[in-house]
Structure 1
Amino acid sequence: MTLVESDRPASQRGIDPVRWPDVAVVPNRPVRAAVATRIFRRTVERLPLRVVEAGGRRYGGGSASDPLLQLRRPSSFFHRLGAAGTIGFGEAYMAGDWTTDDLTGVVAAFASHMRELVPAVFQRLRHAVLHRQPDADDNTVEGARANVRRHYDLSNDLFKTFLDETLTYSSAVFDGEPAHSPELLADAQRRKIDRLLDAANVREGTRLLEVGTGWGELSIRAAQRGAQVTTLTISIEQADLARERIEAAGLSERVDVQLRDYRMVHGEFDAIVSVEMIEAVGANHWSEYFGTLDRALRPGGRVGLQAILQDDAIVRATQDTYTWIRKYIFPGGQLASAEAINSTLRSHTRLHVIDRYSFGRHYAETLRRWRDRFEEQAGKVASLGFDDTFRRMWSLYLAYSEAGFRTGYLDVAQFTLAKPAG
């Protein structure tokens, strides 16, 4: 593959400057670019990674079997990296400034060494160099609705291109070792749901609250057990399709899909489940989120909570940092740590953790399958009106997430929370 530095305008490379203003325009930051160049080249010498630049320069600590990162437009890449750090790294991929045949492998090479790659002096200067998360992305009641529209309301048909028949957008639990398991993803998703329903003691007659509807699969399986389900979402697209699927299953009398913010919930419930919803809450609203669960749960009840986790030190260091994921994928998002969850529970609720099951490797396999399907369906995604820049962005998001779980930089767990009977 020939690598050629290109000065063509972004519009000639298929980048819409209106839709993608920060991708279409390369920042002019020569001093920062020079610093980024030196740091990047020195860093990759310590990684299982190979780099080749347009013009033929080769470096990196990887062998022939390690991933190859191809810098097609090194100047643009280093200016972006110098100007915006990891945001620039992601925008450079969206722009086609760099490419690779092993996207997950490239990201994993950085993720597996993330803690030692950034010198302590730069960690202390993080907030002086990197942007802070915009106030407009705060997950207030109105802000959360706006943030949801930028992800979950993109298109139900988009999510259908890569999710399985259950339309479950969270980690599955496979039977046995997950890596390249022969099990159907839909079966592994149903196992995950059933495990969480079991943890919350959902059975015939249970009054169940689900915080975060998704596309309705958990509500359907809970109703099939005989539970009476109230499920909350602020995604119009998800609510519409969830109602259709619930009606098709003949369960409309047992499931009430409400277009309602979790903070506005009414009533008392025997059990609550919430799957990968806390990630969209924001750290400054965790007390509201867990306080709502506490308020809505009857004494003696249980909560089944599934949450993506990060190391507590990383959570605290990056809490206010504006990252590529927060800018383009999950505005206002924030991963929690197990320590942060326990601390919030102690300070703001009567709930306590009685069980925790971690299964990060299962998420890596789930994401591998999603990414494979998404890339196989490139033509379908294009026919839905999503351009090449979006498809590169989404592929990077899925690969980034897969690499995080595969290297242990990220984890996922199901927590069982209990409320005292008295």
Structure 2
Amino acid sequence: MAVLSARIASQLLRDAARKLPLRLVYPDGSVVGAADPAAPTLTLRQPDRLARRVGHTGLIGFGESYMAGEWESDDLVGVLTVFATSLADLVPRYLQTLRPIALVRQPRSQHNNLDQARRNIGEHYDLSNQMFAQFLDETMTYSSALFPALPASWDDLAGAQCRKIDRLLDAARVGPGSTVLEIGTGWGELSVRAATRGARVRSITLSSEQQRAARQRVAAAGLSDRVDVELCDYRDVSGRYDAVVSVEMIEAVGYSFWPTYFRALDRLVNPGGRVAIQAILMPHSRMLASRNTHTWIQKYIFPGGLLPSRQAILGITERHTSLRTEDMVSLQPHYAETLKLWRERFVANRDAVLALGFDDVFARMWELYLAYSEAGFRSGYLDVCQWTFAPSGGRW
């Protein structure tokens, strides 16, 4: 069975190269696919091992093969963008019917109950504040920026992150005297900017590393009397706030807990207040197809997470809460540009990452993750929105 799976995987890769603007280069120098040498090129170092991995675990194996150095590309984003653009057509329909049987199921051990949620968050965000500093700008903001113009340069990034935060705070109507709950602290930039407006901020996180760094940032800004940063799960928060803000947090909540998350937002916002979130989105059909499967991103980057769709969020808020959409703005091209800048910085600082104690496999894994994410936005497969809700009524 393993031999047959590997043969099928090898043939599917060749077929994809023949149909797509893509080139495969094999160890003997032979080329399959696009005639144009400028087309994105996937160089196979160990094609048999790649085929075995893909035949065994699909896209998880594809990612693991890159981590192991079995294939390379001098245009990693280009290769992955080609795949992302044609994702629905890569596997023949007769094989797609086997998807529920063949794909790896999401392990119950990553289910985001109260205990596991902290472990899942810790696996990513507690890696090392120094490691994240190797590719984030000085604001240490780990979410899509909002640039005044595209394309952008590294020198634009910090200002664009502040611009993104200010837009979200404006949408949530945060000003002097506002009480603000932030779900998902990050490294503290949003809390600092909200407090600078005269707001009183309670920020919660499950990452002890982020809590430590955020508290230091708040203290350095002289705002410790206006900002509390706590280790706390969103399900354990009480009280009511004029504004509840949450930036790229829902992606870590998990499919089963999306209604719980939005009920918490509804419960925690004052009747006249606003909820403002920033959320990465995927197509609804793909979300439904992948909600119970285990992906490379879940295995190695974000355990227990899943990207929602617009339809999922609208359906959940309408069925389970009084929250109704007031405003929704896409930042899709801005995230592609943000990820490009992060990836370039990470690659440039690779030696510094290794000096922190991380190995080459980790560095390849993170380069793939950043390129994979950028390709998702460049292809249009992924979107990211700033989404504002009112606890009753709403325009949509």
The TM-score range, normalised by the shorter chain, is over 0.9
* 2:319 match: 347
* 2:364 match: 392
Q: How many equivalent residue pairs?
A: 393
1:143 equivalent among 116, 124, 130: 116
State the AA in 2 paired with 1:152. Answer: Y
- Report deviation, 1:126: 1.1
2:214 equivalent among 231, 236, 242: 242
1:300 equivalent among 257, 272, 283: 272
* 2:375 match: 403
Measure the CA separation in 2 of the matches of 1:286 and 1:220: 28
Q: Check conservation: 1:172, 1:188, Cα contact below 8 A.
A: yes
* 1:84 match: 57
Measure the CA separation in 1 of the matches of 2:287 and 2:133: 31
1:110 equivalent among 76, 83, 89: 83
- Report deviation, 1:308: 0.2
**1:211-254 CA deviation, whole Å, 9 max, x = no partner?**
00000000000000000000010000000000000000000000
Map residues 3-402 of structure 1 onto 2, 5 A cutoff.
29-61=2-34, 63-176=36-149, 178-181=150-153, 184-402=156-374
- Report deviation, 1:122: 2.6
Measure the CA separation in 2 of the matches of 1:402 and 1:282: 22
Measure the CA separation in 2 of the matches of 1:210 and 1:182: 27
**2:292 partner SS:** coil
Distance 1:326 1:62, change over 3 A: farther
**1:41-85 CA deviation, whole Å, 9 max, x = no partner?**
111111111111112221013511111111001111110111111
Measure the CA separation in 1 of the matches of 2:285 and 2:8: 26
Measure the CA separation in 1 of the matches of 2:338 and 2:238: 34
Cα-Cα RMSD:
1.2
**1:242-272 CA deviation, whole Å, 9 max, x = no partner?**
0000000000000010100010001110111
**2:19 partner SS:** coil
**1:339 partner SS:** helix
State the AA in 1 paired with 2:232. Answer: R
State the AA in 1 paired with 2:253. Answer: V
- Report deviation, 1:347: 1.1
Measure the CA separation in 2 of the matches of 1:413 and 1:79: 38
- Report deviation, 1:30: 1.2
Which stretch shifts more, 112-121 or 304-313? 112-121
Measure the CA separation in 2 of the matches of 1:63 and 1:113: 19
Off by >3 Å, runs of 4+ in structure 1 = 180-183
Q: Check conservation: 1:179, 1:361, Cα contact below 8 A.
A: no
Measure the CA separation in 1 of the matches of 2:108 and 2:62: 23
**1:131 partner SS:** coil
TM-score (norm 2): 0.97
Q: Check conservation: 1:51, 1:70, Cα contact below 8 A.
A: yes
**1:6-26 CA deviation, whole Å, 9 max, x = no partner?**
xxxxxxxxxxxxxxxxxxxxx
Q: Check conservation: 1:174, 1:181, Cα contact below 8 A.
A: no
- Report deviation, 1:389: 0.2
State the AA in 2 paired with 1:159. Answer: F
Measure the CA separation in 1 of the matches of 2:227 and 2:380: 37
- Report deviation, 1:182: 7.3
- Report deviation, 1:100: 1.0
**1:75-124 CA deviation, whole Å, 9 max, x = no partner?**
11110111111000000000000011111111111011112222233333
Measure the CA separation in 1 of the matches of 2:151 and 2:382: 16
Q: Check conservation: 2:12, 2:90, Cα contact below 8 A.
A: no
Unmatched 5+ stretches in structure 2: none
**2:125 partner SS:** coil
TM-score (norm 1): 0.91
